[in-house]
Structure 1
């Protein structure tokens, strides 16, 4: 008489099992970056210079706008006379 190996499970056992061929890859670490104080100073000075230039452009644009409004009002008053 033939008795099945797994009477409660109708699914046959797998033909083969998977075994990993290679071990887990070695984790690589990023290289350490050394930042010198001269580089930090250069970045800070560059940021200050760019900020000053942006402020100068903004002040110039505001002054041109104010001058245009004043000239327009002067020309309007002259045309009314």
Structure 2
């Protein structure tokens, strides 16, 4: 019969059992090796450079359009005052 270590304790004894060191650990299976070719790396790098260049071109275009809108609004306001 199991006697609790602290008989006045309100918590029940643990229900889990400890595994012994004699039991073998589960075998871990390694994933197959994946080889990445140099060409694939080059394609990813070139694609990143191209996408970054396109993003920069869109940003520069947006800034140019915003500046043109401010200048045109200023010119229209000046002409309206005359």
TM-score, scaled relative to structure 1: 0.71
Rounded Cα–Cα distance in structure 2 between residues aligned with 1:25 and 1:66: 66
Consecutive unaligned residues of structure 2, counting only runs of 5 or more, are 4-16
- TM-aligned CA deviation for residue 19 of structure 1: 7.1
1:24 Cα deviation after fit: 2.6
Instruction: Kindly indicate whether structure 1 or structure 2 has the higher relative contact order, using CA contacts under 8 Å at least 6 residues apart.
Output: 2
* C-alpha distance after superposition, 1:39-76 (max 9, x if no partner): 00000010011001100100010000000000000000
Q: CA RMSD, aligned part only?
A: 2.3
Q: Which runs of 4+ in 1 moved over 2 A?
A: 17-20
Cα distance 1:26–1:66, how it changes in 2: closer, same or farther (>3 A)?
A: same
Specify every segment of 5 or more residues in structure 1 that has no aligned partner in the other structure, as ranges. 1-9, 12-16
SS in 1 for 2:43: helix
Q: How many residues align?
A: 66
TM-score (norm 2): 0.70
Aligned to 2:34: 33
* 2:79 paired with 1:51: no
Helix, strand or coil at the partner of 2:42: helix
